[in-house]
Structure 1
Amino acid sequence: MSEKVHVCSEKQLKEEGVKVVKGGKHGIAVVHHENSIYAVDNRCPHLGFPLHMGSTCDGILTCHWHHARFDLKSGGTLDPWADDVPTYPVEIKDGEVWITPEPFDKQTVVKLKKRLKDGLEQNISLVIAKAVVGLVEAGVDTKSIAKIGVEFGTKHRWNGWRSGLTILTAMTNILPYLDKNGKILALYQGLVHVARESAGMGTRFLLDPLPLNEAAEQPEISQLAKWYRNNIEVRDVQGAERVLLTAIKLGATPEELSDMMMTAITDHFYMNIGHTLDFHNKAFEMLEQLQEENREYILTSLIPELSSASRSEESHSWQAPVNLVGPLKKAFALLENIDINKEQANESIGLNEDHLVEQLLSDDPVETVNLLIEALQKGKSPVRLAQLVALAAGERVARFHVQNEFRDWDTVLHTFTHAHAVHQALRRSTTPELTRAVFHGAMSIYLDRFLNIPSARRPKANQPSQQVEEPKAFLDLLDKQQQTDEAAKWVVNYLANGGDVKEFFNILGHALLRENADFHTFQMYEGAIMEHRLWEGEDSEISRRAQETLIIAASRYLAAHAPTSRDTSHTAKIAIRLHRGEKLFEE
Structure 2
Amino acid sequence: MSELIYAGSLKTLEDEGAKVIKGGSHAIAVFVYEKQVYAVDNRCPHMGFPLHTGSLCDGILTCHWHHARFDIKSGGTLDPWADDVPTYPVEINGDEVWVYPVPFNKVTIEKLRQRLRDGLEQNISLVIAKSVVGLMEAGFPATEIAKIGVEFGTTHRRSGWGSGLTILTAMTNVLPKLDKTGQVLALFQGLVHVARESSGMGTRFLLGSLPVSNEKNTQSFEQLSEWYRHCVEVRDSQGAERVLLTAVQSGFSDEQLADMMMTAVTDHFYVNTGHTLDFHNKAFEILNQIGIEHRSYVLSSLLPGIGDVSRSEESHSWQSPVNLVKPLKEAFRELPDILADDTSRGDAGIDEPALVEQILSDDPIKTVNMMMDALKNGVTPSRLAQLVTLAAADRISRFHVQNDFRDWITVLHTFTHAHAVHESLRRSATPELTRAVFHGAMSVYLDRFLNTPSARRPEPKDVETEPQSPSELLEMMNQQQQVAESARWVVNYLARGGDKSELFNTLGHALLREDAEFHSFQMYEAAMVEHDHWEKEDSELARYSQESLILAVTRYLAGHAPTAREMPHTAQIAMRLHRGEKLFQDD
Q: TM-score, normalised by structure 2?
A: 0.99
| Equivalent residue, structure 2, for 1:89 | 89
| Equivalent residue, structure 1, for 2:473 | 474
Q: Does 1:545 align with 2:534?
A: no
Map Cα deviations across residues 202-232 of structure 1 (whole Å, 9 max, x no partner).
0000001011132734211111011100110
User: SS where residue 67 of structure 1 aligns?
Assistant: coil
Matches within 5 A, 1:174-253: 174-214=174-214, 216-253=216-253
Q: For the residues of structure 2 that align with 1:33 and 1:465, how far apart are their CA atoms?
A: 72
Matches within 5 A, 1:42-81: 42-81=42-81
Partners of 1:312 and 1:318 within 8 A in 2:
yes
Q: For the residues of structure 2 that align with 1:321 and 1:446, how far apart are their CA atoms?
A: 13
Partners of 2:345 and 2:378 within 8 A in 1:
no
Q: Does 1:351 align with 2:376?
A: no
| Equivalent residue, structure 1, for 2:15 | 15
Partners of 1:341 and 1:382 within 8 A in 2:
no
Q: Does 1:490 align with 2:489?
A: yes
Q: For the residues of structure 2 that align with 1:350 and 1:216, how far apart are their CA atoms?
A: 50
CA 1:265 to 1:147, structure 2 compared with 1: closer, same or farther past 3 Å? Answer: same
Q: For the residues of structure 2 that align with 1:77 and 1:53, how far apart are their CA atoms?
A: 17
Between 1:309-318 and 1:330-339, the stretch displaced more is: 330-339
Amino acid at match of 2:433: L
Amino acid at match of 1:456: A
Matches within 5 A, 1:280-299: 280-299=280-299
| Equivalent residue, structure 2, for 1:404 | 403
Q: For the residues of structure 2 that align with 1:61 and 1:527, how far apart are their CA atoms?
A: 49
Partners of 2:473 and 2:486 within 8 A in 1:
yes
Amino acid at match of 2:284: F
Matches within 5 A, 1:104-503: 104-214=104-214, 216-340=216-340, 348-503=347-502
Amino acid at match of 2:243: V
RMSD of equivalent CA atoms: 1.1
Runs of 4+ aligned residues of structure 1 deviating over 2 Å after TM superposition are: 213-217, 339-346
Q: For the residues of structure 2 that align with 1:463 and 1:489, how far apart are their CA atoms?
A: 12
Amino acid at match of 1:423: H
Partners of 2:344 and 2:377 within 8 A in 1:
no
CA 1:342 to 1:14, structure 2 compared with 1: closer, same or farther past 3 Å? Answer: farther
Partners of 1:393 and 1:412 within 8 A in 2:
yes
Map Cα deviations across residues 331-359 of structure 1 (whole Å, 9 max, x no partner).
0011121125789775x312100000000
Number of equivalences: 586
Partners of 2:335 and 2:431 within 8 A in 1:
yes
User: SS where residue 39 of structure 1 aligns?
Assistant: strand
Map Cα deviations across residues 387-432 of structure 1 (whole Å, 9 max, x no partner).
0000000000000000000000000000000000000000011100
Q: For the residues of structure 2 that align with 1:316 and 1:97, how far apart are their CA atoms?
A: 82
CA 1:8 to 1:341, structure 2 compared with 1: closer, same or farther past 3 Å? Answer: farther
User: SS where residue 479 of structure 2 aligns?
Assistant: coil
Amino acid at match of 2:230: N
How far does residue 11 in structure 1 lie from its aligned partner after superposition?
A: 0.4
Q: For the residues of structure 2 that align with 1:2 and 1:537, how far apart are their CA atoms?
A: 55
How far does residue 301 in structure 1 lie from its aligned partner after superposition?
A: 0.2
Q: For the residues of structure 2 that align with 1:227 and 1:405, how far apart are their CA atoms?
A: 43
| Equivalent residue, structure 2, for 1:511 | 510
Amino acid at match of 1:560: G
Q: For the residues of structure 2 that align with 1:586 and 1:536, how far apart are their CA atoms?
A: 48
Between 1:270-279 and 1:24-33, the stretch displaced more is: 24-33
Map Cα deviations across residues 507-555 of structure 1 (whole Å, 9 max, x no partner).
0000000000000000000000000000111000100000000000000
| Equivalent residue, structure 2, for 1:568 | 567
Q: For the residues of structure 2 that align with 1:172 and 1:350, how far apart are their CA atoms?
A: 37
How far does residue 55 in structure 1 lie from its aligned partner after superposition?
A: 1.1
Q: How many percent identity over aligned positions?
A: 66
How far does residue 167 in structure 1 lie from its aligned partner after superposition?
A: 0.2
User: SS where residue 336 of structure 1 aligns?
Assistant: helix
User: SS where residue 200 of structure 1 aligns?
Assistant: coil
Partners of 1:340 and 1:430 within 8 A in 2:
no
The answer for unaligned runs of 5 or more in structure 1 is: none
Partners of 2:342 and 2:378 within 8 A in 1:
no
CA 1:239 to 1:532, structure 2 compared with 1: closer, same or farther past 3 Å? Answer: same
| Equivalent residue, structure 2, for 1:530 | 529
Partners of 1:340 and 1:381 within 8 A in 2:
no
Partners of 1:509 and 1:525 within 8 A in 2:
yes
Q: For the residues of structure 2 that align with 1:287 and 1:561, how far apart are their CA atoms?
A: 31
User: SS where residue 489 of structure 2 aligns?
Assistant: helix
How far does residue 156 in structure 1 lie from its aligned partner after superposition?
A: 0.3
User: SS where residue 216 of structure 1 aligns?
Assistant: helix
User: SS where residue 22 of structure 1 aligns?
Assistant: strand
The answer for unaligned runs of 5 or more in structure 2 is: none
How far does residue 2 in structure 1 lie from its aligned partner after superposition?
A: 1.7
How far does residue 464 in structure 1 lie from its aligned partner after superposition?
A: 1.3
